[in-house]
């Protein structure tokens, strides 16, 4: 009866019902009868909704018509599926001590100045632009979020033990009007008697949250601060054993620690904290859930881009942008095997961790411990090698291998795509490899490199939403060039 009822309704009403449907419902309706199939196939808006879901993007702020956005998305998807970058640019890389790549913006600098470059995209209609900001203090490190016009800057102190974290506008360098009136995040961090260069900082932004991980390379001390940057309130302070972190969902943070004495064999772990429950952790880290890792590590790293709450700036003209509902998380552990250092990198989908965070029903309120054997099926091990400073090798659901591969004498770059719908559309010859976890779908493809990179001494690859970034270095590692393969 359903086809007859729908057939009796005006086409405008039928289309309105269909526009409110999700991807699975649209696919099902299309198979019901010829009338629904014709209605769906003939609607540019419905075809755009279907392709957005199938390619893992959200609609943007563009003033383009639906038909124009649909055409751009088809071209964009085809280019990534077939590794067909549209433009190659090369430029010398400034020898600055600070460098960052996030949200389609590359930034570098040192001393009192930062330079920012918007990476272009011919297929999404994004123009390249460049700007500089200067400050009245020396910069030690920084992080950014263009969607909120936010720049987080750690001030370098040459005298005294205190540390300051400034909140500035990315566009102007002025104090951010939505942050605390002081323009700074409250912090009681004392750097003690150590030199400023003994400390490193890992800065991340997700929505209302800003995180800074302080690490003392000399003494091994670490402290993780996470604030609500709009109010200045400290949501989480973990003062022991923290090695790395990333935001997981809108209210969770995933923290990597080297040792968890409550677990058997003293294995390292990933611990999840709920940011809606402010707390200070001084001794043994204990969150709402602990994921046990396979080995006791002496170094541990985590990376994932973009943040769960990232979106383009309001002024962006991009017709669509990568969905942040599901992201690829990379975890690297370094351990010793027969006294020799070894490294392993695992890739996993953020959505595969979230089901474990549901209430466990434990009346004691103790953290839920997930042994490695119970969740290792969610991880894909890749041959990555030891991580370098160029850690932006995942974006959305794509991973780029850090080094080139050679096929028939030609250098290529290898990309793994873990998006469940995109992998289903991959050609059989490109789907997976011999190390693929059978419970995860992954498509592997290689992209040809330009002639300028065929004889480069050393290449490190990174990936952004529209770009494969190649850092070319000479034998000394001092002279570098940055290559952009733009989609």
Domain ranges of the chain: 2-64, 94-396
**Alpha carbon of 425 to those of 54, 82, 419, 460: distances in Å?**
9, 12, 10, 29
**383, burial (CB in 10 Å: exposed 0-12, middle 13-18, buried 19+):** exposed
pLDDT exceeds 70 at position 37: yes
**Residue 218 binned pLDDT confidence (cut-offs 50, 70, 90):** low
pLDDT exceeds 50 at position 431: no
The total of other beta-carbon atoms located within 10 Å of residue 302's CB is 19
71 φ/ψ angles, rounded to the nearest 5 degrees: -65, -40
483 φ/ψ angles, rounded to the nearest 5 degrees: -110, 135
Q: Which of 203-207, 223-227, 257-261, 396-400 comes out lowest in average pLDDT?
A: 257-261
pLDDT at 16: 77
Crossing angle (nearest 10°) for helices 34-41 and 44-55: 80
Q: Do domains 2-64 and 94-396 have the same CATH topology?
A: no
pLDDT at 425: 67
H or E element that contains 212 = strand 209-216
Helices (H) and strands (E) in the chain, counts: 8, 33
The CA distance from 134 to 303, in Å, is 29
Quick one: average pLDDT of 476-486? 88
Contact 249, 355 (CB under 8 A): no
**Alpha carbon of 481 to those of 111, 438, 473, 477: distances in Å?**
22, 39, 7, 11
**Alpha carbon of 229 to those of 9, 207, 306: distances in Å?**
51, 9, 18
Q: 424-428, long-range: CB within 8 Å, 24+ apart, which pairs?
A: 425/54, 425/81, 426/81
Crossing angle (nearest 10°) for helices 11-19 and 44-55: 10
**Alpha carbon of 419 to those of 55, 62, 99, 328, 349: distances in Å?**
8, 24, 29, 9, 9
- Model confidence, pTM: 0.89
Quick one: average pLDDT of 315-342? 89
Contact 301, 273 (CB under 8 A): no
pLDDT exceeds 50 at position 451: yes
Among 354, 361, 311, which residue's Cα sits nearest to residue 329? 354
The CA distance from 306 to 167, in Å, is 20
pLDDT exceeds 70 at position 161: no
The CA R_g of the chain, rounded to the nearest whole Å, is: 24
Quick one: average pLDDT of 67-96? 93
Quick one: average pLDDT of 410-424? 91
Quick one: average pLDDT of 429-445? 60
pLDDT at 162: 65
> Is the CATH number 1.10.3470 carried by domain 94-396?
no
Collapsed DSSP state (helix, strand, coil) of residue 255: strand
H or E element that contains 55 = helix 44-55
Contact 7, 35 (CB under 8 A): yes
The angle at the Cα of 484, spanning 172 to 247, to the nearest 5 degrees, equals 60
Record: fold of 2-64? Monooxygenase (1.20.1280)
**Residue 189 binned pLDDT confidence (cut-offs 50, 70, 90):** low
């Amino acid at each position: 009866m359903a086809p007859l009822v729908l057939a009796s309704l005006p086409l405008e009403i039928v289309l309105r019902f269909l526009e409110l449907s999700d991807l699975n419902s649209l696919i099902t309706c299309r198979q019901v009868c010829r009338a629904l199939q014709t209605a769906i196939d003939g609607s540019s808006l419905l075809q755009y909704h279907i392709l957005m879901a199938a390619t893992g993007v959200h609609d943007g702020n563009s003033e383009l018509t639906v038909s124009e956005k649909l055409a751009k998305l088809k071209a964009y998807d085809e280019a990534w599926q077939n590794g067909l970058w549209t433009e190659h640019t090369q430029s010398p890389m400034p020898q600055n001590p600070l460098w960052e790549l996030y949200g389609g913006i590359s930034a570098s600098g040192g001393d009192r100045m930062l330079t920012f470059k918007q990476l272009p995209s011919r297929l999404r209609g994004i123009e390249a632009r460049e700007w500089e900001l200067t400050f009245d203090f020396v910069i030690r490190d920084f992080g950014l979020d263009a969607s909120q016009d936010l720049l987080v800057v750690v001030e370098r102190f040459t005298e005294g033990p205190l540390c300051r974290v400034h909140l500035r506008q990315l566009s102007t360098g002025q104090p951010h009007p939505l942050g605390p009136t002081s323009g700074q995040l409250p912090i009681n961090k004392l750097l003690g008697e150590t030199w400023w260069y003994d400390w490193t900082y890992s800065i991340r932004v997700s929505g209302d949250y800003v995180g800074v991980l302080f690490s003392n390379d000399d003494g091994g001390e670490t402290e993780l601060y996470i604030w609500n940057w709009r109010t200045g309130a400290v949501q989480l302070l973990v003062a022991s054993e923290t090695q790395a972190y990333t935001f997981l969902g809108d209210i969770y943070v995933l923290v990597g620690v080297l040792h968890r004495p409550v677990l058997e064999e003293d294995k390292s772990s990933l611990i999840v904290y709920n940011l809606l429950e402010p707390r200070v952790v001084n001794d043994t880290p204990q969150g709402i859930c602990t994921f046990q890792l396979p080995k006791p590590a002496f170094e541990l790293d985590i990376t994932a881009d973009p943040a769960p709450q990232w979106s383009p700036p309001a002024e962006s003209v991009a017709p669509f942008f990568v969905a942040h509902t599901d992201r690829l998380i990379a975890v690297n552990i370094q351990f010793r095997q027969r006294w020799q250092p070894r490294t392993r990198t695992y890739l996993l989908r953020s959505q595969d961790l979230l089901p474990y965070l549901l209430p466990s029903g434990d009346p004691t309120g103790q953290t839920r411990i997930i042994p490695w054997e119970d969740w290792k099926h969610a991880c894909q091990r890749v041959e990555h090698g030891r991580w370098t400073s160029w850690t932006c090798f995942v974006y959305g659901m794509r991973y780029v291998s850090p080094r080139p591969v050679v096929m028939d004498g030609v250098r290529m770059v290898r990309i793994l795509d873990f998006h469940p719908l995109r992998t289903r559309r991959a050609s059989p010859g490109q789907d997976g490899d011999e190390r693929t976890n059978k419970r995860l779908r992954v498509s592997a493809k290689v992209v040809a490199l330009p002639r300028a990179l065929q004889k480069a001494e050393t290449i490190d690859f990174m990936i952004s939403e529209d770009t494969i970034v190649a850092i070319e270095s000479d034998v000394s590692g001092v002279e570098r060039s940055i290559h952009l393969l733009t989609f």
